[in-house]
Chains A and B, each alone.
Chain A
């Protein structure tokens, strides 16, 4: 123990005349531009595909019918209702959103006396952050539903020239499953799908189990193609 050990602690008092750094008004502090705050939903863009409901690990999202939005081809007429008693603001729903209609504002204060009001449908129930510019938006070039189409093998041009073999080789079982998995299984009859609009894609994995190897390649080919388009078309349009 030295004299320094006794005197040095008093240097703490050098802060006495410095400006305090604590925030005097913590209630009105603006969040960062990327902040994952309260949800916004562009109901016009939203097609009610329900992928947000599927991916939500808290079960916070329910797809509910909304007055004024008709069920039609390519739009289920449902919109996500979020229960803020369950939401953990992980933003997977924003990331997975097929049309990028679901985003997050950087607002983070909301006071209400009735707890039931925290179960709300963004975009439909008007909120003060509906027009907020800032907040978390999924970058346009990122999709967590599989961005790259599985490559389908073709015959080399040299081989094609003197052969009558089918040029397009089709998918193997694994490739077909991988490709089919890119479908989000929203159940919406896709407007641009080339097959019948009544075709609802359920979970492709159960439809083409890996064990059904023999017959799979041929039957897998048909749904794989529209499934791809179903995933892509909304973002294009």
Chain B
């Protein structure tokens, strides 16, 4: 078709130090801020775009709108007092913070969480993963104007939040995985209600598949868009579905099994085209895998036994000198906690490795160049980033 094809020759030349030679006074370029108050941005961050016509020539990410200094706050709180804070580092999927923090503390203090608690933890992490993916799917469709998907997935997520509520006592910040174990067992009749919820989610996902993934316009906007070159994966530290969509089966659950993943049957979902469409599809299939994992966990988990290990008094809890790094596979990639203790009652240093840090900063800035400004939102969402992880 001899129709409009963008002319990429008009882009600015590079200066000697590698930066772009952009003369704003020429009127050829325009600075645009996408965010921090913008529906097309994932959370409280912003992207400073330099556009030429409809094409982005440079994008710079700006964070700091959400900076509460979690890591520093934790240095002045006792080990148990850190526990209500960590979940705030990632709102839609807080459980990984709780798990990684608890696991790091247990690792350094030599505490073993009981078997049943491990199963409970795996259950809650998979439930959180489903929540996170459901939110993502709504966001990905919504970034392209397909609002109905978000309405369905919000309903499905709401059902899952109900399960969270009856299990943990809260809908968003569950604060359930205490260092040493978990707070409580399953409530009565949970299995049955969970099964109903899973069925509803599966039927919703079938609808989503029909309306979102078999959609001419959606394909038009996403196929071939926002490709992550597999060569970038190691350079940029890309993990999780972003890496799996590029055909690399990176999955901490399989590579370094934690909790009870050794006893569960699953195969990491991978895609090949590495574009926005493939990434959405990988996440959709990963969600269905989590549904299956929850069924396996509920079938295999022990129903009696201790939920929390014998703990020293947490009011005066001191952990011997040491350092550790604990990781888990969250819905966005590898989630890790690096914890240093010095024998006192407070952590010496906590460093949170949120996958969004690499995805939303370095990777996004590279990928955003030369795309249409209408696609910025879809691209950002497709990397599945949550800003609080960037600026702990």
Contact = CB atoms under 8 A, between A and B. Distances in A.
A36 B214 CA distance: 42
B155 A146 contact: no
B169 interface: yes
A58 B85 CA distance: 9
A127 B78 CA distance: 32
B120 interface: no
A11 interface: yes
B315 A11 contact: no
A11 B210 contact: yes
Interface of B: 77, 80-85, 148, 155, 162, 165-170, 173, 175, 178, 183-184, 187, 207, 210-211, 214-216, 219-220, 307-308, 310-318, 345
Which 3 pairs, one residue from A and one from B, show the smallest C-beta to C-beta distance? A90-B84, A146-B313, A57-B81
B165 A21 contact: no
Given A178-B312, A205-B316, A1 B169 contact: no
Contacts of B85: 57
A234 B166 CA distance: 30
11 contacts: A11-B207, A34-B166, A34-B168, A34-B187, A51-B315, A57-B84, A57-B85, A96-B314, A146-B314, A181-B312, A205-B345
Contacts of B210: 8-9, 11-12
Interface residues of A, number: 46
Q: Which of B162, B169, B219, B307 has the most CB of A within 10 A?
A: B169
B80 A92 contact: yes
Given A55-B315, A57-B81, A36 B310 contact: no
Nearest to A51: B315
Interface string A192-222: 0000000000011100000000000000000
A6 B315 contact: no
Contacts of A21: 155
Given A33-B187, A181-B315, A88 B170 contact: no
A144 B80 contact: yes
A88 B84 contact: yes
Contacts of B183: 95
Interface string A158-173: 0000000000000000
A71 interface: no
Given A8-B215, A144-B313, A205-B318, 18 more contacts: A1-B216, A5-B219, A8-B214, A9-B214, A9-B215, A34-B165, A34-B184, A35-B169, A55-B80, A90-B175, A91-B175, A92-B80, A96-B314, A145-B313, A181-B316, A181-B317, A184-B315, A185-B316
Contacts of B219: 1, 5
